[in-house]
Structure 1
Amino acid sequence: MSCGNEFVKTLKKIGYPKADELNGEDFDWLFESEEDRSFLEWFCGNINEQHVISEKELQDFNNLLESGKPILEGDALDEVLKTCSSADSKSNSQREEEEKEERKRLEDELQTLEKMKNLTIHRSKKLQMMSSKTSQISQALKDAEEEALKEMKEGLGALTAANSKLHSELLSFFDEVKKLTSFLTASESENGPHPVFFSQLSLDKYLAQEEQRTLAIASYVKKHFSQGASELAENSHDENSQFGNKSKQVTCNEANEVCEESRELVRLQTAYICAQHQLIQSKAEEESIKSAIQCAEKILHSLKTKGIEKETLDIEVSSLNDEISTLKKQIAKINNEDLPALLKENARQWIAPVVKAVLDRRIAQQDYYAARQDEIYHHLINQKASFDLIELAYEIELRKHKDLHCQFESLIEYLKQTSDELEQRLKVMSELDQPAQPRTTIDSKDDFSRRLYQLLEGKNKKVELFKTYEGLQQMAQKLEEDCAIVQDQLAASSQEQSLFLSKLNSDIDALCEALYCGGNQVLLSSQELTDQFQEIEGHLNELNKLTIDLLDDVKEKRIALESNKLLQMERKLYVYYLQDEDHLKKIVEELEQQSKAKTTALEDQSFTTNEVLDI
């Protein structure tokens, strides 16, 4: 508990007017000073209603003052109190004991109140946390509700679509089942025999279609491929092994054609090389003859004009012969080394367009053949797949027939065995049908009666020397009575179950009514709880608003107190009034004396001024 609250509590205890309107936290500043704190703690711990003068006592004191009688004060009062102390010692001791008990009681009450205060503060904090948490939860619930509504609408739309789709599928399924039942229940006289197994179906149409398809493929192969390939297509569904031989024959034919074309290209290349070589040789001879003629003409011209001597001419002829020999060597080297390679390269370049055209033709031909072969392979694979599918269906049906055959054989054996046992039993019963004398006990050879007796006897076996037909009849009657009782119990239980189901349906309707509250949406929380949460949230908002206003008011008062000296003086005087009245009187007397001194000084000054003026 804070000191200000304790101070206000003491004021309430002594009956201070309007003490209930005071706030304890506003008086916490009184306990900040160490000098005042001790007095205030003493005041809060010792002052009670006994130290307060009542209205009657105050009225009596005022009447005493008005009567003019002397009032004992100071030493006289102390002497009178000393004389009265002996008489009041006993009452003082009792009073002290009562005060101690009262103090103890008050301390216990104070501790209890402090605990209650701490508990209240804890609860208020807890309530604040709960309110914030509740607001968060409510917001989260609102968001979750909106999201759930959205998801519910989406789910409802999806379910509606799925329901319509399922309804249409069920209708189609019902139509198909109806057709199937009408097909299975149709009579043979109206629609003829219906095949039940796959092996009963006729494959004549299918085989005829496949034969037509095979003939069409063979004609297509004859039209677009060689004779060997057509024979391959005709015999593909009968002799699969011949496919590899025919393909090898076609490949050999194609290889021969390729070899022939390669030889023709080589011949063309060789002819081109020879022709070019001859052309080069003839051009070289022609150029050599032209150069020789030009050289001879030049020499003749020089001889005619300059008249060169024979020696110089011989020297030039010898040098020209040397040059001719070197040129011949170079020509021979070119003819033997460089010219063949260049001619071959030129021949390759010359024949390249021809080779490209041949290869393009072959590629186009191969693409054409590949496309046609893919079509043929596709048709043949489909044909083979259909044959394999039919074969697989026959094998599966054959396996099922074998399984059914085995089951039927085991059933026949079991029926034969049971028929043999039944014949034996009938034979024994026929032997015992007309006995010489009626028997009361069951014969040991009568296995049927003995087993029936054991069956009716069950677990409640009794040690009997002989088993009689009378006991068998009693057990049969008892079994009949038990069956009737069980049937009655079943009827009662079915009635109870129907009542329970009706009650359960009514409870479900009530639950739906409580969940939906007459609407189409499920309520996630109770309406009363939601209203209470909203009311609590409103109270919390008001409390927060009041707290903020109070803090703002205190802040404004503190600012005003710091800025206004007059308010500070009033605060100090208020503190002195509550803590030390003597000090307050002393200050007031000093202020009165100061004011009197100032007034007297002013009067003297005015008097002197008047005298001066008179003079």
Structure 2
Amino acid sequence: MSGARLCSLLTELGYDGWQSLDPDSFEWPFQYEETRPVLDWLCVNLRPSNVLSTPEIIQYNALLEEGKVLEGEDLDFAYESISAFARRRSNQEAVLGVEESVMEIKEATVAYKAEAQELQKRLQHLQVHLDSLSGHTSSVIQGRRARASSSSTTSEQLLMSEEKLAARNVELNAVLEKISSSARDLAYYHSGEEEGIYLSFADFRSFIAQDQACTKALNDWFVKQFDVGPSRLVAEEGQSKCSWGGLEDENQSSKGDSEKMYNSRVSELQRLRSIFGVSERQWVEAQVENAKQQASLQMAMSQASADQHHIHSDITSLRRKHTEVGNEIYTLSKSEEKLLNEVIPSLCWELAQLQDTYILQDQLARHRFLQFACQLERKQMNGAYELLRLIDTDLQGFSHATIGRIERYTALANAAAETNEQGAVDDQDTFLHRVRDILNIHACNGSIADEQGGSRMYVSALGLVQQISQLHDEKQALQAEMSFSLPEDKNKCLNDLCDIIRQMQQLLFASSTTAQPVLSPWPLMKELAEMEKVNSQLSAAIEEVTREHREKAEIVKHHPHEVGRERQVFVDFFTNPDRLRSLVRDLTVRVKALQS
């Protein structure tokens, strides 16, 4: 998205190669915190209206060459003269057509700076307020989470208690079934539906002794097992219901019965007594288990009643805290509505005014930067011109000296020819020998070897004249070559300077992540960075408040009719905020009415 904005900005500014730009390849500079604010600022504020066009640059260069650009004291004098001239309405409307003077602009600038400082203070105050609100909101959320965790823990404990009670009920039902089956068996054995038992007369003393020993053992066992606690009560109740049959009654025997019948009946009685003893023990054990289960059930019921009372108190406290949280949310919604309706629009308006001021300052900085670049170019051109003029002066002096020497050598040659000499030069003539040495040094550096060897070559005026003429021809060739190559070097130097200026303009007017010129003073840049930081913090606070609202909306999300209302609120937030404000006011009135 950011790369597309940058590409559209370059297209709007008239970049030639805008068709070959790929928006996705420009996304990576926006991922760094150092370059993203600068690129966002360029995308928002850079427009064709505040960028110098090519005709304006050409016009500025022409004014600079003509010397019509005002700088320093001349510029201040011009501003003062314009402001003095603008006091008359007729001249002002006829010539300038502007109603503001320089003093008014300066006063407005000072006022804007004061407003910017005041806005900074207000932003800091709002940031502190938002921090306190966020801290309070976090504490409310933590309390709600703690209440939710406690309620979940209580519900888990209740579920575990219900599961334990259900398991105990199953065990108790099994025990009751066993007791009922034992009772049916006892009832069947005591009903007398089986064949009657007839005892004959016999000696029952051994059996009576055995029965007494068994009874004593049973009594000892019962005393040992059911002497204390609820088991003793169950045992006493069971003993009261038991009817032990004795064999002391000898009248029940019949003399006419045979001994075999008597033995069979005794064995049957023993069998019944053993069965009855086992059934009686099972019944007693079932009664003991039933008493234990009843005690456990009573304990579980008391614990459940205590838990229910605790849950009721927790629900009451939760409702009270829910009411307090609702009041706090209502206060926060009021504060948020005030921020959205009053503070944030005023801040946006004041920030827009500050942005206009920054645009004017940036245009002034660009103008000064271009002045500095043009001054550098003019100094370089003047230096090159002075160098060329010095070279031309040296060449002209060398040419005049060479021409004078040639004339003198020609006169010497003519004089030698008139005296009918062969052109020989006397060895005592040191001047001509020095001329010969100079020419030899220029030609092949042979005179140094001659001087070191101490020998002198033959010198003639004609040879000197020929060497001088060759030197003259060589000088003319070098001069022609210099006159041919000097314009090319000059044009090359000018092209290099133009390329440097073009690159500086690109660095200035086109966004670059590697070399960004600092056009504003350091305090202003620091204040801008602080303002960007405050804006980012304000955005984070707004996002936090929005997130809190979304979390609060999750509470009523389970209601079907709230989903459509949530969607309508989301649509009204972006399309019809007035309707949303009226809805909030109506809800506020309803809440106040319910609270009252």
Q: TM bucket by the smaller chain?
A: under 0.3
Of structures 1 and 2, the one scoring higher in RCO (CA 8 A, sep 6+) is: 2
Q: Which TM-score applies when normalising by structure 1? A: 0.24
Between structure 1 and structure 2, the one with the greater Rg is: 1
